[in-house]
Each structure stands twice: as C-alpha cells, then as structure tokens.
Amino acid sequence: MTIILIAVLFATGLGVLLAAVIGAAAKKFAVETDPRIETVTDMLPGANCGGCGYAGCADLAKAIVEGRADPSLCPVAPPEGSQRIAEYLGITTTEKEKVIAVVKCSGSCSVTVRSPYNGVGDCRSAALVAGGAKGCDFGCIGFASCARACPFDAIEMRDGLAVVHPDLCVGCGKCVETCPKNLIILAPAAVDVHVYCNSPEKGALKRKVCKTACIACRKCVKAADSEEQMTIKGFLVETNYSSPPLPDLVEKAACPTTALRLASLHAASAYEGVSK
C-alpha cells in the first residue's frame, strides 16, 4: 500500500514541479508577437506558394505588418484582398496588375517531330540529353515538370504540351523557375493574344520539326491596328505587352500555322485547325 501511495505522490509531485517550471519559463521568456500578424495571415489566401518571395503566407504577413512588404506583393490575392489588408493596417497599397503564365509553345506530340526517349521522366533531366526528345530545341519538352511545380494545378499536360489554364493561374512564377527551356513567361492577364512559339530559328527549319511554329510571315503584324502591337525579333513575332493587340486580331490575321492564339481558347480546347 505504501509503495502505491509513494508512487502516486512522486508522479504527482513531478508533474506539478514540471508544470510550474514550464509555466514560469513561459511567463519569463514570453515573446511579444504582434496580434495583427495572425489576422493578416488569415486575410491572405493561405496558399503558401512562395510567389511573393517570402517563406509562406505567415512570413509575408509578418513583413507586411512590420512595413517591409506591400500587401499587393501576394500574387494569389485579388486586388480587393490586398486593399482589405491595407485598410485593416491603415496603410496604402499600390494596385498591381494581375499576371498569368504563358507557355510559349504550341508543339503538341501530334504536330512535332519527336525522337524516342526512355530516360528519367522529368524535363530538367531530358533537357540534359541532347536538349530533350523533340525536334525543336526551344519548345516544350512535355514531361510536366512545370505542371508538378504548380501549387494551383493550373497547368495541364495535353498531348505532350503544357497548357496553362488562365482562370486557375495566379502568376506565382513557380513554373517559370522550373522550365529548363525558359519557355514560360508571366504576361498581363488582360492580354489574351499570344504567339505560342519560342524558336528563334529560320522559318523553314522550324516548319520541318513543328507544324505550328511561328514563321514570321508578318500576317499578324499587318493585320494589327498598329504595327507596334506585334514586335518582330528575328524570325519570331511576339506580342508587345506594353501596347497589346485586341483579341480579334487572331481572326483578322488568320495565322497560317496557328501559332497566334488566344490564351483562353488555347486552354479551352485543343486546336484542330492545323494547316498542312
């Protein structure tokens, strides 16, 4: 009987002693945290994508409260969200333009020349082996490294081509870092017209390996409201994102290789009208 009593007393005593020590330590070494940090963290989207450059939403919230960062830094939050945080903290925020990722390639398996490749199924590995399995050295390799990197599942692999869904993409830039071909750009979301080709090679060379390459025929440049809307860089035409063309350009230009596309349509369905 005594031994049970002693054991119970000993265990209770130990528990009380340790509780007292922890309690005292928690009081003595208490760290003052700004309660606003938690509120701001809750106001942020909580995606923890790291697109802002901070280690997750809580870290950004801390930086915002301490005045080191602007609420608009979060690529995921809509402008109203950033505005709400700014109002809560009583600071002003600049409005940022929403950007989305654009994979500048339209070379799906059915329109490109491919060689067999049995190596590691990752674009970064494939890029080391003769630049990937595609005939085109500048296009999408198609092993979905970007789709795996995307925290929002906004990139779909369709017939060996990475396709961004503009409605899901928040423009965090994770895919941009991942792509070994530097194929993905962050373009203003308001612009819908893009040239889905990245190859600077001569038109004839490009057409040999890819049916939907941009051959710089200038049809779109001529069809545009002003020539500035499309810029020509060597054998490749690009959308001028500082003075972008209107979406109807795609219809007006009737791109012979269909490299000129609307991002929304490109994502909505696979392009059927590939010229022969």
Partner 1 sequence: MADNILAITIGAILVNNFVLSKFLGICPFLGVSKKLETALGMSGAVIFVMTLASLVTSAIYKYVLSKPFTINGTTINLTFLTILVFIVVIAALVQLVEIILLKFSPPLYQALGIFLPLITTNCAVLGAAALNVQAGRGVIASTVFGTCSAIGFALALVLFASLREKLDLAKVPVPLQGTAIGLITAGILAMVFMGFSGLV
**Which residues make up the interface to partner 1 (CB under 8 A)?**
2-3, 6-7, 10-11, 14-15, 18-19, 21-22, 25-26, 29-31, 120-122, 125
Is residue 128 classed as helix, strand or coil in its secondary structure? Answer: helix
CB of 47 to partner 1, least distance (A): 18
Name the minimum Å distance from CB 28 to partner 1: 9
Give the nearer residue to partner 1 in terms of CB position, either 6 or 270: 6
* Shortest distance, position 273 Cβ to partner 1, whole Å: 36
Nearer to partner 1, 3 or 204 (CB): 3
Contact 193, 119 (CB under 8 A): no
When the beta carbons of 15 and 200 are compared against partner 1, the nearer one is: 15
Strand stretches in the chain, DSSP E: 99-103, 155-158, 161-164, 184-188, 193-195, 230-233, 236-239, 260-262
Q: How far is the CB of 10 from partner 1 (least distance, A)?
A: 6
Nearer to partner 1, 46 or 256 (CB): 46
Closest to partner 1 by CB, 4 or 204? 4
Closer residue to partner 1 in complex, CB, 15/53? 15
Sign for the CA dihedral angle at 247, 248, 251, 253 comes to: negative
Least distance in angstroms from the C-beta of 69 to partner 1: 17
Type and span of the H or E element at 39: helix 35-43
CB of 60 to partner 1, least distance (A): 15
Amino acid at 218: R
- For 267, the enclosing helix (H) or strand (E) is helix 263-268
Q: What angle do CA 147, 97, 175 make, to 5 degrees?
A: 15
For residues 96 and 112, is the Cβ–Cβ distance under 8 A?
no
Query: Could you give the C-alpha distances from 122 to 4, 105, 198, in angstroms and in order?
Result: 64, 18, 20
Kindly list the distances between the CA atom of residue 158 and the CA atoms of 2, 146, 253, 267, in Å, as whole numbers in the listed order: 76, 13, 26, 9
Please, which residues bridge with residue 163 across strands? 156
Nearer to partner 1, 26 or 91 (CB): 26
Identify which of residues 56 and 188 has a Cβ nearer to partner 1 in the complex. Answer: 56
Residues 6+ apart with CB under 8 A from 239: 187, 191, 193, 194, 195, 229, 230, 231, 245
Distance, in Å, from the CA atom of 153 to the CA atom of 254, rounded to the nearest integer, reads 31
In the complex, minimum distance from the CB of residue 99 to partner 1, in angstroms, rounded to a whole number: 28
| Geometric angle at alpha carbon 144, from 139 and 150, rounded to 5° | 110
